[in-house]
Structure 1
Amino acid sequence: MNPLLSVCVLLCSSCLLFSDSVLARYAPLYSPAAGPALAPLMWPVPRPSSGTVAPSSSGVAVTTEKHGRHLDTELILAIILASVALVAIILGLFGIWFYRRNNHLRPDSNGAQNSDGAKVSTFGPILGKFNSMKTVKKGSVCAIDHALLEAATNNFSESNVLGEGGFGRVYKACMDDGVLVAVKKMENGGEDFEREFENEMDLLCRIRHPNIVSLLGYSNDGQTRFLVYELMQNGSLESQLHGPSNGSALTWHIRMKIALDAARGLEYLHEHCNPPVIHRDLKSSNILLDSEFNAKISDFGLAVTGQSKGSVKLSGTLGYVAPEYLLDGKLTEKSDVYAFGVVLLELLMGRKPVEKITPSQCQSIVTWAMPQLTDRSKLPNIVDPVIRNTMDLKHLYQVAAVAVLCIQPEPSYRPLITDVLHSLIPLVPIELGGALRILDTSPSSKNKLSSH
């Protein structure tokens, strides 16, 4: 029990005992059951005409009126004191309740759930379906039996591979009750491998946001580690843009929605987590898409916290790494903004961040696109043919302007991700999570792009 609450209960008990003792003291004088022996005290005694005090049958003077008034005064005073004490105790208890309620509702300083139990409960309805599985709660995540993952992935069959990263593959898994999840198998070993595993598990246990992928659990099997995520049915943005479909499923508005979702996820990391989280490896392959093309940021193995300034070990993916981080090792939130700008160029042009122009020479999308992004006569020609002539020119110009600002070589010239977010909201239809109202969808009512 809370110490303050114990003190208040003790005071309340003492007050009640005091009240009981006072009432017990005076009960014989006022109780109707006192009997005939006390009847003279219940009735006024007539004053003798001579002013003398009438003697009692035993020869003792009884000043009943004066003594009764004295007892009345003591009783009233006792009742008042007891009432005041009781009110004070009630107010004290209410104050303690209000204080504890405020403390319970106050968000944790790192922008995440504080207790292990709270962290586990935020895994959402998917974890609720794991009841039939061999799982145990260990710390802040759900530890899943390795044999269960083997069975769910058909012994990690090649046919279940969803993608591949630096430390292993990601597999599609079907659990006992039909729940579909994604399982990342990490088996390269080494110090970096272990650090990234712990880093991602720690961050994703505490970070919960609609545009950040949800971690459902983990498993250990010797030197192999497994992370279990919610399944994103449409894979990564990279596979959609640069895979067999070449972005054919991504309309202009869906691409803007993906950019908006990614910006919302980054804004949460930069502005709402305390300390701020820098992803450090934002790229199209780490932006995952669900069945309705809602985008979520994934892969937090390289993420760092509280790194507003400073030098860290160079990590990342060629083509997305900001110049100041690549050359000087200086990492800030603006480094993520640069990577976001590269992703925005991919959405606009359908090109990879780095492409080979000769067997021995590569070209960056930033270097290639920058001169054309600021030229309105050339800009329509570099737009992905899949979406060319499908958007308003003014919207294209605005997105290109945002991308140009994000990929500025000087970090101080880049906008905050919050500013980027506010610039994209008016370009996304309301039904897709933005603020754009489409009043007339007929081709004649739109200012379409024309071929040049």
Structure 2
Amino acid sequence: MLISLLHLVALVVAADACAFGGFDATATFVGCPADIKPHVLYCIVDSHCKLLKTYNASALRLSSSLDPSSPARYQLTVSYPIQRVADEPGVKIDFQLRVENASIRQIDDLSAVNNLKTLYIYNNNNAALSVAHTKLPMSLHELTLSGAQIQALPNAARLTGLTYLNVFNNNITRLEHLDLRNVTTFSAGLNQISTFINVSLGSGLTYFDLTNNRITDFVVDPTTYGALRQARTLSLDVIDVSSTCKSPNKVLPLSAHANVCVTPGSMLASSTENSTALGGAAIAGIVAGAVALVGLCLALFVQRRRRLISKGGALDQTEATDSEHPVFSLDSLALLRLDHQSLAAIKFVAEGAYGQVWLGTYEGNPVALKRLLSGATSQSAIATFVDEILLASKLESLYVVQLIGASWRIPAELQMVLEWMDRGDLRSVLEATDDTSFLWDEKIQLMLSVAEGLVYLHSMFVIHRDLKSRNVLLDTVKGAKLTDFGVSKEMTTETMTVGVGTYRWMAPEVLQENHYTTSADVYSFGILISELCTHHIPYTDKQTERGNPLVDTAIINRVIQGTLQPTFGASSPTWVVELANDCIALTADDRPTAIQVAHRIRKKTGNKSCSCKGMDRLRPQLMLIDVITIPKGMKP
């Protein structure tokens, strides 16, 4: 049964009508007036003030002691199919309001509810929540609007007291002019954010997530830049502002794959509700300045055009396309270049945050074609893609998807040509099967293939850094192979403190952006085993004490603390679960190496190496992997 619409509004009370009317057959959550039900903290009434349900102290979950010297604070999860929550002043007890799996349409003025400390709205059942007219109480400390399809944040002036802000998984496109200096945890991943400008953050920031967005403008002042640099967890995708950052601002690195635009001085966001209003003199000055600037630009353009024509040449039409197809040398790929006329794209397969994969043919044989998205072809993105191709060209193993070459007409159309794996990725196979159709004999062979792949990578001093079921490809003949080296790096001092990868598979030391080694891949392998056991994404079954799904920040914090482990299932082989638990040891030094993992799996299967279909003819190469000598002091 669908949960009814929840509509949070401020009431304009008419003297001759029920204070909670205004909608047909509505059910409203309020601080219960004494004339409706005395000695009750909260209640639900209909539009005629008929009492439907009451909540008193015994019905609320107490989260602090009953000591009279400490303020009482309650957490209330509303499960009744209400349509709105009304502002009814008079209830002085501090409380947290949680609304989950509802269909909220609007939040209006709650500014008078000064006892509300936490507002938590999660999984809004595909309903778009409007916050255009929202006024939150200044007392609010924690705000979660996750999975609510909001397109913007509530009034900026009402967010200054927040210490926790979670707007993960929405439709937000811009974050600008926000004073969030008190925020310690900020999560805005999985939105559509392109602009992050003049957002003030403070030194107390410990967690910052802006992944799965498409940032093109990222402008902050030195104070916010410093806060981001010192945050314990900083999760960002590739960000390149080199084409949008203008002097006197400077492009500075924020992580190994993200640079941002930093102003020379403070640009503290305004905290006044009318900060966007300008006086007449200011507007006049801006208009006058704009007119003068336009005139100057026009004069320069005319002068330049005349100079070009006087030289006997027409205007170069390629100038207009420079920003769309940046000048970039691909000389490093010359030996890998394939004739693009011998390639043909046949069928779209998948799309990620920055790239697409197509089924294609090369000289009549099936291949996979990996391309950048049309909107993600900046010089930085192309450079990262080139690095991925060059790294893949150095790898040659039965357990790594083979690079065939690269092809391009212009740099923005660069594509990576890989061998085709006909069963697709492991995650899709797990979702389409269960334990009766995907048996443990095959799963164990797959585990061995993945472990051998890690042995090979680590022997080449390469850390995968993004091992998960999506990055394991299957083939009916060739077995299982590792793929997607977009964040993989050769082991250097510069690359071994950068937190990259997908967080549910990431080791605690990577989540904290501490120094890490190849043991981070072994941790991810242990999480991958949990996927083989349950066929589900890790931690999807984990819940809070009240039975709610864990939010992303809670998962990350618990993994870092070592208090959360994935599920392996009672029917899984005991030795498999024991191996997985060893792999996900909290301390990196307590985990086995990839060689030890592969050896343990082979001992259980009775095979010296993987017996995957079609690989017997290449088995002599596998023996070489087992005897590679690791330089002294380097942990494989």
- TM-score tier, shorter chain, comes to 0.5 to 0.7
Question: Paired residue for 2:428?
Answer: 239
Q: How does 1:26-37 map to 2 (within 5 A)?
A: none
Tell me how far apart the structure 1 counterparts of residues 493 and 520 of structure 2 sit (CA, whole Å). 11
Higher relative contact order (CA 8 A, sep 6+): 1
Report the counterpart of residue 227 of structure 1 in structure 2: 416
Query: 1:419 is matched by which residue type in structure 2?
Result: Q
Normalized against structure 1, the TM-score is what?
Answer: 0.54
Residues 161 and 247 (structure 1 numbering): CA distance in 2 closer, same or farther, change over 3 Å? farther
Match of 2:345 among 146, 149, 153: 153
Give the 5 Å matches for 1:279-290. Answer: 279-290=464-475
TM-score, normalised on structure 2?
Answer: 0.39
2:392 is aligned to: 204
353, 357, 362: which is aligned to 1:166?
Answer: 353
Between 1:325-334 and 1:229-238, the stretch displaced more is 325-334
Alignment coverage as a number of residue pairs: 269
Shift of 1:408: 1.1
Partner of 1:195: 383
Higher helix share: 1
Q: What's the offset of the Cα at 1:221?
A: 3.9
Structure 1 equivalent of residue 551 of structure 2 = 361
Unaligned runs of 5+ in 2: 1-331, 613-636
The counterpart of 2:446, out of the listed 258, 263, 271, is 258
Q: Quick one: distance in 2 between partners of 1:138 and 1:270?
A: 24
Cα root mean square deviation, aligned: 3.2
Q: Aligned partners of 2:428 and 2:567: how far apart in 1?
A: 26
Q: Is the 8 A contact 1:309 1:332 kept in 2?
A: no
Correspondence for 1:296 among 460, 481, 490: 481
1:99-153 CA deviation, whole Å, 9 max, x = no partner? Answer: xxxxxxxxxxxxxxxxxxxxxxxxxxxxxxxxxxxxxx963313231x543xx22
Equivalent position to 2:522, from 332, 337, 347 = 337
For 2:582 and 2:477, the matched residues in 1 are separated by 29
Distance 1:291 1:183 in 2: 20
The Cα of 1:295 is off from its aligned counterpart by 0.8
DSSP 3-state at the match of 1:346? helix
Correspondences of 1:96-135 after superposition (within 5 Å):
none
Please report how far the alpha carbon of residue 293 of structure 1 lies from its aligned counterpart in structure 2 after TM superposition: 6.1
TM-fit CA distance, 1:250: 2.3
Identity between Structure 1 and Structure 2 (%): 28
Equivalent of residue 350 in structure 1, options 526, 535, 546:
535
CA distance in 2, matches of 1:184, 1:430: 35
Distance 2:587 2:407 in 1: 43
Report the counterpart of residue 313 of structure 2 in structure 1: none
With over 3 angstroms needed to count, the CA separation of the structure-2 counterparts of 1:195 and 1:336, relative to structure 1, is: farther
Of structures 1 and 2, the larger Rg is shown by 1
- Corresponding residue for residue 338 of structure 2: 143
How many Å apart are 1:292 and its aligned residue? Answer: 3.2
Residue 180 of structure 1 aligns to a residue whose secondary structure is strand
Cα distance in 2 for residues equivalent to 1:251 and 1:288 = 17
CA distance in 2, matches of 1:293, 1:369: 35
Query: Once structures 1 and 2 are overlaid, which stretch shifts more, 350-359 or 294-303?
Result: 350-359
**Distance verdict in 2 for CA 1:403–1:330, change over 3 Å:** same
Matched, 1:316 2:501: yes
Deviations 1:235-278 (CA, angstroms, capped at 9, x unpaired): 11111112x3457642111111111001001001112x2xx111
**Which one of the candidate residues 512, 526, 532 is aligned to 1:327?**
512
How many Å apart are 1:329 and its aligned residue? 3.4
**Which secondary structure does the structure 2 equivalent of 1:182 belong to?**
strand
- Measured after TM superposition, the shift of residue 280 of structure 1 is 0.9
2:526 and 2:584 in contact (8 A); partners too: yes
> Any gaps of 5 or more consecutive residues in structure 1?
1-136, 155-159, 374-378, 384-395, 436-452
* Cα displacement string for residues 178-232 of structure 1 (whole angstroms, at most 9, x for unaligned residues): x111111113223552233112211121110000110111112431321111100
